[in-house]
Structure 1
Amino acid sequence: DVCRNSSQVALPNGTCVSSGGGQEYSAGILKSGNASSVDLANSLSLYVASINSGNASSGGNSTVPISVIEQSLSKVDNISITLSSDSSFLIAQPLNHSSNDILSGARFQRGLNGSAVMISTENSSLNSNATAAAVISEQSLVNVKSLQMFIIDKPTMYENADNKTNKSLASSVVIGSVQLLTSASVPLNISLYFKISPEYQPNVSATYLCSFYDISNSCWNETGCTDALFNRALSRYECSCNHLTSFALIWLPQSQLGSYGRTMRVADIASLVFQSVSIVCFLIVIIHSVTVRATNPLLKFQVNYLLPLISSASTTILFIFFIALGMTVYTQTPSENETKCFLSSSVLMFFVYFFLIFMFCTKTSIGYFNYLRFVYLFPEPKLCQLYRLLTISFLVSITWVSFAAGFNANSSFSITQLYPYQLCWFTRDALYYFMTIPVCIFLLLNLFTIIFVSKHIIAHARNATSRHQSYERMKQCVIILLSSCVTQGIGWLFGPFISFVSPTGGDVLEWFFIIFNGLEGVWSIILYIIIRSQRMEEQKRVTAVVELTKTSSIGVSKGEKSSSKNGRRKNNAERENSGIVERYIGQESVRGFDSINEIVRIHRSIDGSFHNDQLRDGNTI
């Protein structure tokens, strides 16, 4: 500005007038509706300079509505003009699409005024210390005839524009407008960059939102705009919107936050849904198992039948604490700029970490126990050995977590941080030591175990001579169990890499991680159905064998009563038949059951029934 007096402003012809006079002059042109593009551009710049001079008039004739400011900017077309001052920057320019370089936006830096942003200079312009900047994507400019951009450093006219909400202005205002070549609609994508203006710095804990001014409702609105993400390197907030109008960074007090600033990502919601479904599925299994045991004791399960479900239980507990951690951080994060975990989030974080390590230890222990069951059949491992393995898993987990908690107690290591509204978890540098390394070790151990166990189980089921339904169900159980192990393993194999791949690759791996781990509850339900069906089938076969034995023993007793000679002949015949029956029962039992304990129990029940029938028949004789 050429005027030496701070209370004066310069008209387009260079004449210095009072700020009140300049405001009234520019307001008259803007509200007239028939001014030229040049006059409109000069009046917009003059109006902002006048109301920021400190002697702005609030009279009706001197005040320009925000809607008129936006309409006036959209009418500055068919000319190429650039106006830069210490209070604003305006640029309007037709786009020559045959040129290798065209205008894509504008930037403003307090104290250094503004400048145009060309496609070729986007990186250097945006990686600078700009107070505010805006760039329209190259794809969105394909159908654009001319582009207008207006940045207001101190947008006084927007300060009290919203009387409906508690949102307050926090930055400069960027106004964008375009004229299209054709009527064809092309999606517009504008990237916005804002620094918090010192005069708008809140004195309370606040959440920042990327908003546009909704003229129809006279309030700030976030529709069509992404969350404002803080760039620590450049100390600014960044976002994008899918339309053009007046944009600014606004803030809302934490005490009145409500749902603002806490919008969950789709991936976060999907993760909670999948984990909740897994928890519900496991609870259904437990409730049904307890109900069956209470109503029909003959169908109760032994622990070795439920080995796959014991593995799922550890994962379910992990999911419960993970949801608790996520909800606690989501509801109690004091500010989106907060990076230090608060007490409750730290406690839950280490509970989650403990059950994470314990889950891997448990799966490894179950895998090793199955290895002993199906690879080294004799002697069959006892359940007390499984209990010892689970105890060792607990000790390993608590030791590992104690080691991590000890490091976290020393603030100089900084191994944890708060991810606002998401999680309290390890920092990127510490993640490799406390997540990637242990996960890879456990995955490697489980991979070898799965290979050996699955090889022997599948070979056993494939080479079976009998076609009992138990074999078919065992094959199904093997397939589901291996599917569970594979999906769980793949999920956690992708998990550690989410932290250091590209953003796009990280999003893809994150979805693999969510879906594969969320299938744990589905596998639990399917496994339980197969195990229960197999158990019922086995119980039917045991009952049938006992009934067959009783029938044979009754025939022997009746033969002895008829005559001794015929009795001796029938006894010989019965002994032969009994031997055949026992051999048949033994063969069928061995074919029908994998566990040697089941074979022993069947023979014991058969022998007991046969012995009782003999005593009863002897007493009768």
Structure 2
Amino acid sequence: MDSILIAQPVNQGDNVIVLGASFRSGIGGEVINNLNKETITNSYLSTAAIINDQSLKDITSLNILIIDKPTTHENIDNSTNKTLASSVVVVTVQPSGSTSTSRNISLYFQILPDYQPTIEADYFCSFYDTINSIWNESLCTKPQYNQIFNRYECSCSHFTSFALVWLPKIPLTRYLNAQDIASLIFQSISILCFIVIIIHGLIIRICKPSVSIPARDLLPLISCAVTMILFIFYIALAMTVYTKTSSENQTSCFLSSSVLMFFTYFFLIFMFCVKTSIGYFNYLRFVYLFPPPSYRRLFIMLVISFFISITWVAFAAGFNSNSSFQITQLYPYKLCWFTRRVIYYFLTIPVGLFLLINIFIFIRVSQRIINHVLNATSRHQTYERMKRCVLILLLSCATQGIGWLFGPFLTFANEDTANVLGWFFIIFNGLEGLWMILLYIIIRSQRMDEQKRVVAARELTKSKESKSTSLTHKKSFEEDNEQEDRSITRDTEVKYRNTQKETSRSSDDLRDNSIRNSHVEDNTFTSYC
């Protein structure tokens, strides 16, 4: 039996809905419905086509033809050199009238023994383009290899003829491509910026301790420091995978790459936790002004962030210990990272959650700052710089969040989309160095302003003390002069009184002498008589 053809109504009654068909070489085909879907897809089938439930809403009849050995299709494409590797599935439907519902069909292909490539090949999930007479993979996803059932799985967004085709594999270059080089350069520049900031801060602290930045004022740079550690581990992971990948077909992460991958993942989650904690701290600081948040609260939030990150990574590592869960895989010469099937749980969801929280904080803090600018009677330079610092911190979290949200899509997007998203990922991550430099400049300027105010206050205090001392000396000098004048006056008065006394005494003596002389003369006269 080389093929199966089904032509049945979609609704079979008794809640049975026909979804598609499957075929197994040497055994035959089977109709797939909503009751046996899981059983069939978890079996070693050769080919299967299953239409999504939502795509069947406006369909009354489903027709599927599976050609197990499609010899007539082997040479229908002479333009692209694509070669058939599987059975061919032909799907047609009978719509009820409306065709507004989107189409989605899941396809499962095993490589047929007769079509097994003898060289390394790249596989494509394709439909036959009757207009151009070629196999075309547009509107179909890149096939993913299911190691358990030894088959390739993909999906397409239309109904026509499908098959798995292959082309000779173009060897992955051992040289880094433009995006890899740009990513390494941008992240290395950010790390160098951080090192320059540390060196500059240490030199200032040693040479000019009076103008050095206190550790308390450097708290906004904590998130940047965590990001730099993340970049270091990310570069180490990329270079380890690049240098130690043994084969282009290797899909299992080796030990060192797995260890570095989970360290990178830890610092990724920790980075977003730290940025969110600092954002929330500034939210309390600028929106809920009283009572002002203490730095002890920020420290507690950072500790909680650490435990959240380590717990999240512990869950991921625990699941990864069971290989059947297929948590991680090796992307040859690129990274050891999460598989497409689980990346939403371990990366997209937590990053999206942190991003939403920070967007809310960004909006609330921005509203508060705008209201302050509109209603402020005078501009305070320090407060202005503080606001810029907060906005840069929130922008840093936003760019990192958006960049890492784009990252998960790189594993399964088509080549053109992945190329665009890759550059977004690289540029947004590279902006971290710019945010860090701006933060340091703002903090440094704020510290210089504070130092200028301190110096001005000291000069003013000295000036006041000098004036006070001058007035004191002047008053003391005047008092001394007054005392000296009073002393001179007293001395003059004393001398004058003494002179008066001496003059009076001399007059008395003269009068006494005159009297005595008069008596003598009288006596003489008497004696002569």
Matched residue SS, 1:195? coil
SS at match of 1:117: coil
1:329 partner letter: V
Q: Where in structure 2 are the equivalents of 1:105-120 lying within 5 Å?
A: 115=75, 117-118=77-78
Q: Give the residue type in structure 2 aligned to 1:296.
A: K
C-alpha separation in 2, matches of 1:357 and 1:338:
28
Structure 2 partner of 1:333: 245
- 1:299 and 2:221 correspond: no
**Is residue 435 from structure 1 mapped to residue 357 from structure 2 by the alignment?**
no
Q: Which runs of 5+ in 2 are unaligned?
A: 1-68, 88-114, 123-141, 146-151, 153-163, 480-529
Alignment of 1:125-204 (within 5 A): 126-128=83-85, 195-196=117-118
The residue number in structure 2 matching 1:409 is 321
Residue-by-residue CA offset, 1:12-41 (whole Å, 9 max, x unaligned): xxxxxxxxxxxxxxxxxxxxxxxxxxxxxx
Check if 1:273 corresponds to 2:197.
no
Residues 488 and 517 in structure 1, CA contact (< 8 A), matched pair in contact too: yes
Number of aligned residues: 348
Deviations 1:71-122 (A, max 9, x none): xxxxxxxxxxxxxxxxxxxxxxxxxxxxxxxxxxxxxx9x999846356xx7
Q: Given residue 376 of structure 1, which amino acid in structure 2 is its aligned partner?
A: Y
Q: 2:471 aligns with which of 546, 551, 559?
A: 559
> What amino acid does structure 1 have at the position aligned with 2:449?
E
Change (3 A) 1:358 1:472: closer
Alpha carbons 2:410, 2:418 under 8 Å: kept:
yes
Q: CA deviation at 1:476?
A: 4.3
Q: In 2, distance between residues paired with 1:195 and 1:261? A: 21
Question: SS in structure 2 opposite 1:264?
Answer: coil
1:445 maps to what in 2? 357
Q: Distance in 2 between matches of 1:434 and 1:482?
A: 23
What residue identity is the alignment partner of 1:330? Y
Matched, 1:371 2:331: no
- Give the corresponding residue for 1:286: 198
Letter in 2 for 1:405: A
Pick aligned residue for 1:357 from 269, 285, 288: 269
Distance 1:450 1:539, change over 3 A: same
CA contact 1:443–1:493 (8 Å) conserved in 2: no
How far apart are residue 507 of structure 1 and its match?
Answer: 2.0
**Distance apart, 1:235 and its partner CA:** 8.7
Give the partner amino acid of 1:339. Answer: T
Kindly tell me: are residues 284 and 479 of structure 1, through their superposed partners in 2, closer, same or farther at Cα, counting changes over 3 Å?
A: same
- With the length of structure 1 as denominator, give the TM-score of the two structures: 0.51
Q: Any idea what the Cα deviations from partners look like across 1:177-213, whole Å, max 9, x if unmatched?
A: xxxxxxxxxxxxxxxx99325xxxxxxxxx999xxxx
Change (3 A) 1:304 1:493: farther
Amino acid corresponding to residue 425 of structure 2 in structure 1 = F
| Compared CA separation, residues 371 and 114, structure 1 to 2 (3 A) | closer
Which of residues 517, 520, 526 is equivalent to 2:429? 517
Which residue of 269, 285, 297 corresponds with 1:385? 297
Q: Per the alignment, in what secondary structure is the counterpart of residue 337 of structure 2? A: strand
Q: How far apart are residue 459 of structure 1 and its match?
A: 3.5
Distance (Å, rounded) in 1 between the aligned partners of 2:268 and 2:435: 19
Q: Distance in 2 between matches of 1:501 and 1:113?
A: 28
Distance 2:227 2:400 in 1: 10
Could you say if the C-alpha distance between residues 550 and 459 of structure 1 is closer, same or farther in structure 2, counting changes exceeding 3 Å? Answer: farther
Task: Note closer, same or farther for the CA distance 1:449–1:302 as it changes in structure 2 (3 Å cut).
Answer: farther
How far apart, in 1, do the equivalents of 2:167 and 2:236 lie? 29
Matching of residues 210-609 of structure 1 within 5 Å? 233=152, 237-238=167-168, 261-461=173-373, 463-467=375-379, 469-470=381-382, 473-474=385-386, 476-563=388-475
Q: CA deviation at 1:493?
A: 3.5
Secondary structure class of the residue paired with 1:429: coil
The letter of the residue matching 2:396 is: S
Contact 2:279 2:394 in 1 (8 A): no
Describe the SS at the equivalent of 2:329.
Answer: strand
Q: Quick one: which amino acid aligns to residue 118 of structure 2?
A: I
Q: Name the amino acid aligned to 1:117.
A: D
Name the CA shift for 1:448/1:338 in 2 (closer, same or farther; >3 Å): same
Q: 1:231 offset after TM fit, Å?
A: 8.6
Letter in 1 for 2:459: E
Cα deviation code 1:318-351 (max 9, x no counterpart): 0000000000000001111111111111111110
Q: 1:265 to 1:208 in 2, by over 3 A?
A: farther
**Other-structure match for 2:516:** none
Distance 1:553 1:420, change over 3 A: same
Whole-angstrom CA distance in 2 between matches of 1:367 and 1:404: 26
Deviation (angstroms), 1:428: 0.5
Instruction: For CA contacts below 8 A with separation 6 or more, give which structure has more relative contact order.
Output: 2
Sequence identity (%): 59
For structure 1, the 5+ residue unaligned runs are 1-108, 131-192, 198-206, 210-228, 241-248, 250-259, 568-621
Is the 8 Å Cα contact of residues 279 and 393 (structure 2) preserved in structure 1?
Answer: no
The answer on whether the counterparts of 2:396 and 2:432 sit within 8 Å (CA) in structure 1 is yes
- Where in structure 1 do 4 or more consecutive aligned residues deviate above 6 Å? 111-114
- Name the CA distance, whole Å, in 2 between partners of 1:493 and 1:113: 41
Distance 1:489 1:436 in 2: 10
Match of 1:401, as an amino acid?
A: V
CA–CA distance in 2 between the matches of 1:231 and 1:455?
Answer: 47
1:531 partner letter: I
How far residue 408 of structure 1 moved from its aligned partner, in angstroms, is 0.6
What code does the residue aligned with 1:275 have?
Q
Give the stretch that moved more between structures: 294-303 or 511-520: 294-303
Q: CA deviation at 1:461?
A: 4.8
Q: CA deviation at 1:236?
A: 5.1
From the CA coordinates, give the structure whose radius of gyration is larger: 2
Quote the Cα distance in structure 2 between the aligned partners of 1:129 and 1:431: 29
C-alpha deviation, 1:298, in angstroms: 1.6
Deviation at 1:272, TM superposition (A): 1.1
Report the CA distance shift for 1:295/1:484 in structure 2 as closer, same or farther (over 3 A): same
Given that 1:458 and 1:475 are in contact with CA atoms closer than 8 Å, whether structure 2 keeps it comes out as no
Q: CA offsets, 1:443-494, max 9 Å, x none? A: 1111112222233234435544444544554454355334323322332333
- Contact in 2 for aligned 1:195/1:235 (Cα 8 Å): no
8 Å CA contact 1:278, 1:518 repeated in 2:
yes
